[in-house]
Amino acid sequence: MPRFTYVALDSRGQESTGLVEAASTNEAIGQLRQAGFFPTNVYEEGKGGGRDGKAAKRAAKAARVAQPREKRKGIVLFQRKKVKPKILMIFTRQLATLIDAGLPLLRALNVLAKQERDTVLKNTIDKLAESVQGGSTFSESLALYPLIFNDLYINMVKAGEVGGVLELVLTRLAEFQEKAAKIKNKVAAAMVYPLIVMTMAVAIMGFLLVFIVPKFEAIFHDMLGDRPLPVITTLVITVSRFVQGHWLVILALLFAAIAGYKFANRTPRGKSAIDRAKLHFPLFGDVIRKTAISRFSRTLGTLVTSGVPILQALNITRETAGNMVIAGAIGQVHESVKEGESIVQPLEASGAFPPMVVSMIDVGEETGQLPEMLLKIADVYDDEVDNSVAAMTAALEPIMIVFLALVVGTIVIALFLPLISIIQGLQQQT
């Protein structure tokens, strides 16, 4: 039987060389992978170098040195390393379609690499194809690019490989990405209107206080002298003077508030407090809660349905929850399941999940249809998010209009009240 010289990396990333007996190169690669090695160079003894594998080492090192020389055509600053979710979703859907049509994984990756327009994803697909051709599994290759493929993606692909249903898992993953993007876009679109109105209100108020009110103040001083002004006018003039004299302080406080929010959001305790407060915001809190529940249900349901072990699925769901309160509840569920107990008690004790969700999960657990029930909850809460977003938008429109009218109207009334007194004085003089 032929013997093959190999250069491989062990589980700690250290390079080792040796010989292995196998009928072919592919069989040698398979034996090395089963032994826990990641082969980087495998060739038949006597055809690729010396018996001790030193030539293989030199060849591997030469390849690693020569490869960057070909690609180093210039220094690139701030190189983009991530891929937009929409582009990744399209790639996943296309890959699932090609594999379902009967194309081998390697050929499907090569086809997608040729047609991909996004340079980051194109280069990544090329490297994935090289890794798969070198003997690595698809999930192992994906794990090399954590900025593009998250744990959910990698573990679902791994489960699909183990179960022999990679095309089915990729289809589920694409559907998951599409629905998650749909919910995210709806919530983001609902936030646009109040942000625009608030920005307009602040801009108009700033313009009036900085440029208009001072001119009216000069007119009042010339026409009325030291006569007292109405209370609302005095208040507006005082605010105008403060804004003009301390605008740098106001900007500094604004930036400090934003920086403080970002800093607090990076600490576990601060993020937990912020996320808990978000769930109790008027109007917005209901949408945030329902979005988090929908994400939890769909993520966990998709993972378990795809064959990912429940404990591992709970860990991934906790990391992708997007809200520390929900993540804490999932952590309690993980500990409960780890001890062989039910999912329901920690969910109910957290107070973050409505009774209907807890009851449906309880029924799914009792009937052995937990994954299906979780996906059903996700579909229900997708509709709930739609309804909540529509209700929030309908309520925000009159609130924002009234707010804008109050801000501008207060300033206008404050400026016109003294004008009325001036006009009355002029009429009496004539």
Residue 80's pLDDT band (boundaries 50, 70, 90)?
low
**Euclidean distance between CA atoms 404 and 357, whole angstroms:** 39
Q: Tell me, what's the pLDDT at 339? A: 86
Place of tokens 């210039």: 74
Confirm if 345 and 359 have CB atoms less than 8 A apart.
Answer: no
**Euclidean distance between CA atoms 263 and 184, whole angstroms:** 24
74 pLDDT more than 70? no
pLDDT in tens, 127-145: 999 999 888 899 999 999 9
What are the residues whose beta carbons fall under 8 Å from the beta carbon of 121, sequence distance 6 or more? Answer: 83, 87, 88, 91, 148
User: Which of 310, 354, 367, 356 is closest to 333 using CA atoms?
Assistant: 310
Q: Tell me, what's the pLDDT at 50? A: 42
SS3 310: helix
Residue 60's pLDDT band (boundaries 50, 70, 90)?
very low
Encoded amino acid at 233, one letter: T
Share of the chain above pLDDT 90, in %: 20
Tokens read off for 330: 């999932």
Q: Tell me, what's the pLDDT at 247? A: 86
Confirm if 392 and 192 have CB atoms less than 8 A apart.
Answer: no
Question: Which has more confidence, 52 or 178?
Answer: 178
Q: What is the dihedral of CA 178, 183, 189, 191, to 10 degrees?
A: -150
Most confident range, picked from 39-53, 61-75, 336-350: 336-350
67 pLDDT more than 60? no
pLDDT in tens, 154-166: 988 988 888 888 8
> 386 exposed, middle or buried (CB, 10 Å; 0-12, 13-18, 19+)?
middle
Q: What is the mean pLDDT of residues 313-341?
A: 87
**Euclidean distance between CA atoms 232 and 234, whole angstroms:** 5
272 pLDDT more than 50? yes
Q: Tell me, what's the pLDDT at 73? A: 40
Q: Tell me, what's the pLDDT at 14? A: 60
Residue 374's pLDDT band (boundaries 50, 70, 90)?
very high
Confirm if 305 and 375 have CB atoms less than 8 A apart.
Answer: yes
SS3 3: strand
**Euclidean distance between CA atoms 214 and 204, whole angstroms:** 15
Angle in degrees, 0-180, between the axes of helices 166-207 and 85-100, rounded to the nearest 10? 160
pLDDT in tens, 171-221: 888 888 888 888 888 888 878 878 888 888 888 888 888 888 999 888 888
59 pLDDT more than 50? no
Residue 42's pLDDT band (boundaries 50, 70, 90)?
confident
User: Which of 76, 71, 68, 43 is closest to 57 using CA atoms?
Assistant: 43
429 pLDDT more than 80? no
Q: Tell me, what's the pLDDT at 53? A: 43
Confirm if 131 and 140 have CB atoms less than 8 A apart.
Answer: yes
Taken in order of first residue, the domains within the chain and their CATH numbers are 3-71 (no CATH), 85-149 (no CATH), 168-430 (1.20.81.30)
Handedness of CA 278, 280, 286, 290 (dihedral sign): positive
Q: Distance between the two ends of the chain, CA-based, in angstroms? A: 122
Residue 425's pLDDT band (boundaries 50, 70, 90)?
confident
- E strands in 204-292: none
DSSP H/E element including 226: none
Confirm if 187 and 291 have CB atoms less than 8 A apart.
Answer: yes
79 pLDDT more than 80? no
Question: Cα dist. 284→60, 298, 323, 382 in Å?
Answer: 57, 21, 14, 16
The b-or-e profile of 253-288 (16+ CB within 10 A means b, else e) is eeeeeeeeeeeeeeeeebebeebeebbeeeebebbb
Q: What is the mean pLDDT of residues 259-276?
A: 90
pLDDT in tens, 91-111: 999 999 999 888 889 999 999
Q: Tell me, what's the pLDDT at 11? A: 56
Q: Tell me, what's the pLDDT at 65? A: 38
User: Which of 128, 196, 200 is closest to 157 using CA atoms?
Assistant: 128
Residue 12's pLDDT band (boundaries 50, 70, 90)?
low
